[in-house]
């Protein structure tokens, strides 16, 4: 009896008022706003990577074409070096003042810095000031992005019902793919319709200038949202005045195990993601001398295939769990990386597309379930901060540096299969991390009450727990 009393005190009976019932229209609005904002963020990052060769010529005209591409990718990587700082600033702030306010501010900062890049004069106009300004605004992009993914994935995870978190979470990466696809499509159209001189003179600016209206639409949608139910519940229980922003070392001290696991999962995911979606067009055109237009079109088709399948895989993860899918993607990369790149090296439309599609199918489980898996690693009161810090440290070290590291390895060794070997290393990390993580599908988020889609489901959940308690007694 004493044992049962202690257990009931630690795990009090679930009441109907403890359960969050999320209206489907509210979830849809939240998912739409978060996904569109994420699409805008990655549209901005995508256009830079797809215009890497042109940007290298505009801002780094001295040296060989290889030096220009490396300089452009080095500037690309700069944004990732400051992302942890953005995560350390925006993440804990989002745990204190709310997810909505921080996500709205990151949207403004990203749109402004991207627009500014499109307005910078080239090297021939203002000399070394041009690359300096480019680096400055890339750093601002990276700083704002440091608060984006952790906040957006937290936002969707805290709105979604527990049994459908994988499905709704997959729309965040659906937005990422929309951003990349829109960037690649716009760059392809410009490349086909403009001459090389026009592209280098003013054509490259158009995608950056387009960020301003897209950012305004995303900001409007985010400002119309309510705060997440989980954060509102936390405010009711603790009070807004009692919460303070924890410094990084305190967050890491309490959440270091989950953060290390998060960094390992993110490393495996982002190396493979940036390898395929960011670096591959440059690898095909610069290293294999494949048509730049054909390379972009192939990547676009692969991303369209991923977009068509991603929500189905997200729904599947709600049924069979996140771990099996993450393990499948990691093992697929380890086994198929070399065959995929051997196909790509053959040249020709069909071998190149087949190799890219194989890599895309391995990436699909990652993009489909990662945004539902990562927020579930952390409790509600420090979720935004812990996830943003861990995510961005890992992306900074491994994701954003992938194009630069791989291009350097290919240039230094002359081995065109270096990207495949790098992918296999990432796959090993993914296998280990996926094997040790706990399954979180269909479970409430740590520190949050259960979330369901209907009142009837909430009543059934209370009744089932009551019956289970009676059987135990």
Nearest to 433 by CA among 276, 266, 310, 274: 266
Return the pLDDT at 469. Answer: 55
Residue with tokens 């495996």: 268
Q: Would you say residue 341 has pLDDT above 90?
A: yes
Nearest to 322 by CA among 282, 356, 371, 274: 371
Q: Would you say residue 200 has pLDDT above 90?
A: no
SS3 state of residue 452: strand
Asked if 85 contacts 146 with a C-beta cutoff of 8 angstroms, the reply is: yes
| pLDDT per position as a tens digit, 23-62 | 888 898 889 888 887 887 778 777 877 787 788 888 888 7
Nearest to 156 by CA among 372, 325, 319: 372
Mean pLDDT of the chain: 85
| DSSP code for 454 | S
Q: Would you say residue 362 has pLDDT above 90?
A: yes
Residue with tokens 């300089």: 71
Distance between CA atoms of residues 290 and 283, nearest Å: 9
Return the pLDDT at 467. Answer: 62
| pLDDT per position as a tens digit, 396-446 | 888 777 877 888 888 888 888 999 999 999 999 999 999 999 999 999 998
SS3 state of residue 161: coil
Asked if 388 contacts 237 with a C-beta cutoff of 8 angstroms, the reply is: no
Q: Would you say residue 65 has pLDDT above 80?
A: no
């Amino acid at each position: 009896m004493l044992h049962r009393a202690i257990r009931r005190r630690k795990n009090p009976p679930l009441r109907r008022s403890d359960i969050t019932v999320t209206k489907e229209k509210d979830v849809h609005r939240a998912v739409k706003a978060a996904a569109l904002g994420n699409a805008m963020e990655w549209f901005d990052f995508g256009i830079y990577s797809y215009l890497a060769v042109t940007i290298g010529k505009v801002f780094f005209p001295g040296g060989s074409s290889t030096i220009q591409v490396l300089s452009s990718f080095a500037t690309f990587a700069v944004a990732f070096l400051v992302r942890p700082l953005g995560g350390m600033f925006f993440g804990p702030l989002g745990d204190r003042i709310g997810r909505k306010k921080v996500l709205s501010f990151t949207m403004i900062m990203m749109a402004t810095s991207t627009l500014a890049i499109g307005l910078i004069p080239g090297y021939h106009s203002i000399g070394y000031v041009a690359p300096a300004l480019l680096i400055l605004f890339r750093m601002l992009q990276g700083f704002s992005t440091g608060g984006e993914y952790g906040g957006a994935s937290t936002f969707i995870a805290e709105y979604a019902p527990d049994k459908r978190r994988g499905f709704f979470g997959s729309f965040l990466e659906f937005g990422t793919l929309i951003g990349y696809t829109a960037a690649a499509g716009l760059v392809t159209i410009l490349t086909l319709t403009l001459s090389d001189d026009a592209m280098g003179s003013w054509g490259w600016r158009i995608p950056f200038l387009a960020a301003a209206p897209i950012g305004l639409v995303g900001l409007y949608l985010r400002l119309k949202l309510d705060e997440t139910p989980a954060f509102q519940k936390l405010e009711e229980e603790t009070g807004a005045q009692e919460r303070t922003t924890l410094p990084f070392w305190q967050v890491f001290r309490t959440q270091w195990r989950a953060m290390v696991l998060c960094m390992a999962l993110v490393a495996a995911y982002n190396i493979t993601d940036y390898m395929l979606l960011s670096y591959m067009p440059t690898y095909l055109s610069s290293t294999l001398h494949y048509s730049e237009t054909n390379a972009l079109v192939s990547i676009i088709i692969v991303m369209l295939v991923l977009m068509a399948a991603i929500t189905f895989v997200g729904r599947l993860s709600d049924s069979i769990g996140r771990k099996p899918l993450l393990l499948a993607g990691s093992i697929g990369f380890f086994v198929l990386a070399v065959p995929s790149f051997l196909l790509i090296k053959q040249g020709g439309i069909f071998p190149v597309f087949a190799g890219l599609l194989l890599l895309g199918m391995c990436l699909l489980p990652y993009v489909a379930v990662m945004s539902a898996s990562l927020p579930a690693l952390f409790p509600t009161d420090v979720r935004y901060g812990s996830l943003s810090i861990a995510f961005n440290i890992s992306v900074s070290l491994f994701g954003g540096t992938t194009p630069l590291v791989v291009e350097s390895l290919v240039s230094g060794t002359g081995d065109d299969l270096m990207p495949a070997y790098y992918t296999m290393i990432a796959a090993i990390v993914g296998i280990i991390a996926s094997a040790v993580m706990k399954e979180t599908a269909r479970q409430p988020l740590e520190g949050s009450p259960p979330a369901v889609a209907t009142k009837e489901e909430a009543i059934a959940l209370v009744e089932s727990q009551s019956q289970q308690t009676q059987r135990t007694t």
